Amino acid sequence: MQWLYLAIADIFEIAVAIAAGKAEGFKNRKWTIATLVSGALGTFFLSKALLTFNVGVGYAIWTSVAGVGITLLGALVFGQRLNWRKALGILAIIVGVVGLQLSGAA
């Protein structure tokens, strides 16, 4: 269940990144509200996940998976280059998350 909570929290965190980018330094009211609402919902589901995960572990997985999602979304939807440097970062995060799970921390 904690993985599902973390996944939902990550979807909202990715939404935060998109909304914050469009909020123009929080001058655009609509996108600012979208940022805050997404952030609040993401925070709620993160807190549900952290009932099971250690704070350090759950937070790191949450924020890094969101980073992966933002990068992949940028590549798939917004036509950004997925270069080897980004791929290496994504690989490290995946290896780290799998390693944490296999070592019983997640």
Partner 1 sequence: MSDTGRSSANSWLTLLLAGVFEIGYALSVGGSHGFTRLTWSLVAVVFFLLTLWALSVALRTIDVSIGYAVWAGIGAAGAALLGPVFFDESLTAVQAVWLGVIIVGVVWLKLADRPAKTQEPVESPRAAQGVAAGAKEAQVVEH
28 binds partner 1 (CB under 8 A): no
| CB proximity list for 65: less than 8 A, separation 6 or greater | 6, 10, 93, 97
Using alpha carbons, select from 63, 49, 51 the residue that is nearest to residue 97. Answer: 63
88 binds partner 1 (CB under 8 A): yes
50 binds partner 1 (CB under 8 A): yes
89 binds partner 1 (CB under 8 A): yes
6 binds partner 1 (CB under 8 A): no
Q: Please list every residue from 53 through 72 that binds partner 1, using CB under 8 A.
A: 54-61, 63-64, 67-68, 70-71
Binding-site residue total for partner 1 (CB under 8 A)?
52
Residue 54 and residue 23: Cα distance in Å, rounded? 32
Using alpha carbons, select from 55, 62, 84, 56 the residue that is nearest to residue 4. Answer: 62
Residue 48 and residue 10: Cα distance in Å, rounded? 12
Among 39, 41, 75, 76, which residue sits at the site for partner 1 (rule: CB under 8 A)? 39
Least distance to partner 1, CB of residue 30, Å:
15
